[in-house]
Amino acid sequence: MDSDPALLADMLHHRTGSLPAGSPVALPLTPASTYALPGTIDAPFTYGRAGGPTWSALEEALGVLEQAETVVLPSGMAAISAVLLTHLTRGDRVLLPSDGYYATRRLAEQFLTPVGVEVVLRPTAEYAQQDLDGFTVVLVETPSNPALDLCDIAEVSARAHAAGALVVVDNTTLTPLGQRPLELGADVVVASDTKAPNGHSDALLGHVATRRPDVLERVRQWRTLAGGIPGQLETWLVHRGLETLELRFDRMCSSALVLAERLEEHPATRDVVHPGLPSHPQHELASRQMARAGSLIGFALPDAETAERFLERARRVVSATSFGGVHTSAERRARWGDAVPEGFVRLSVGCEPTEELWADLEQALRGLG
């Protein structure tokens, strides 16, 4: 499933067609909290908590890529919590990945379980075996972060819908260019645009995309009334980042595949995981469901100390959490409590020239393992 080139061009030109002569071609940053409002309140913008031109521009651009209406939120977690907290109430059941981004589980355990929502955790690769009867919301994260396991979005969506559940896909690891959950039958996409869509490690942001007007309305109301809103500068930065997403993501994914293949052959590493490798246990599903295999690679070194030595030695890999940025970065995920071996490294491949990166990884791995 490839991303449609027309959508990329439409996204880039989403506002240029209607520009009056003399307007800036770049999106203006509009830091307004209140808007002129004489007489009735029937105006496109009224007060900053309800909307503004910078948010609208980003929502439009993301909407072109998602082919759905979008709501921007101040972070990926704000997008996830907006959907979960507006669709779950006492007595409901939610299915979450036990191997997905840890903050989603923590959110559920700390704020949904205490109000009487039953939180069920299953590994992503076992969603296919999970009976979905009785669930209100099924949240899928594929590829899961950090172990990069997959599940079949179309198959889970069909079964979840038969059971009456809302299907939410966290599409952070792939972006709309790498995977299109709404086309595969999911109801809602949630994503952290802090990662590749912004891509420059200088802003947090998230979005919800859906073709369901009821979901859209609830999430918009939540944003306005709960009051956690994206900053104008962050929104503007992500709009700017999105304009080069395709170029960056292309380099990142192509490099990641090359590096994953070489890491797999390297004597110091073991258990190299990347959905583009034929050795990935769900490689066939990856080829069917994903347009790109993503920019993340997982691999194990013998122990925590060896992994830390690798991170210290690598000069073109910044030791940092998060992923999707122009700078290649890596970290030992066990330090956050993820259920991975102590020596497991998650590598986020950035935009450096591929051979420069490989030369650096090779020198950092020399003699380890």
By the 8 A CB rule, do 248 and 326 touch? yes
- Does 250 qualify as catalytic in the annotation? no
> Is 195 designated active site?
yes
Burial of 42 (0-12, 13-18, 19+ CB in 10 A): exposed
Taking residues 138 to 177 in sequence order and writing x for each that binds ligand PLP by CB under 6 A, - otherwise, the string is ---x---x------------------------x-xx----
Cβ-based nearer residue to ligand PLP, 151 or 365 = 151
Question: Cα 200 vs. chain centroid, distance in angstroms?
Answer: 15
CB 319 within 8 A of CB 295: no
Compute the distance between CA of residue 279 and CA of residue 259 in angstroms, rounded to an integer.
14
Q: Which of 180, 195, 248, 332 is catalytic?
A: 195
In the annotation, is 47 catalytic? no
- Give the residue, chosen from 51, 53, 63, 76, that forms a contact with ligand PLP under the rule CB under 6 A: 76
Catalytic residue among 15, 35, 49, 212: 49
Piece in contact with ligand PLP (CB under 6 A), picked from 9-17, 72-80, 302-310, 347-355: 72-80
Task: State the catalytic residue, choosing from 99, 149, 152, 170.
Answer: 170
How many residues touch ligand PLP under the rule CB under 6 A: the total is: 14
Q: Between 112 and 141, how does the x/- string for binding to ligand PLP read (CB under 6 A)?
A: -----------------------------x
The residue among 59 and 170 lying less far from ligand PLP, judged by its C-beta, is: 170
- Terminal-residue alpha carbon distance, the chain: 38
Q: Work out the number of other CB atoms within 10 angstroms of the CB of residue 281.
A: 12
Closer Cβ to ligand PLP, 196 or 364, answer by number: 196
Determine the Cα–Cα distance for residues 123 and 330; give it in Å rounded to an integer: 23
For helices 76-87 and 213-226, give the axis angle rounded to 10 degrees: 110
Least Å distance, CB 95 to ligand PLP, is 16
Q: Is 231 helix (H, G, I), strand (E, B) or coil?
A: coil
Q: Is 178 exposed, middle or buried (0-12, 13-18, 19+ CB in 10 A)?
A: buried
Is 49 catalytic? The answer is yes
264/331 with CB nearer ligand PLP: 331
Tokens of 314: 């690598």
Give Cα 97 to chain centroid, integer Å: 15
Q: Does 75 bind ligand PLP (CB under 6 A)?
A: yes
Among 19, 17, 41, 45, which residue's Cα sits nearest to residue 31?
Answer: 45
What residues act catalytically? 49, 101, 170, 195
**Which residues would be at the binding site for ligand PLP (CB under 6 A)?**
75-77, 101, 141, 145, 170, 172-173, 192, 194, 204, 206, 322
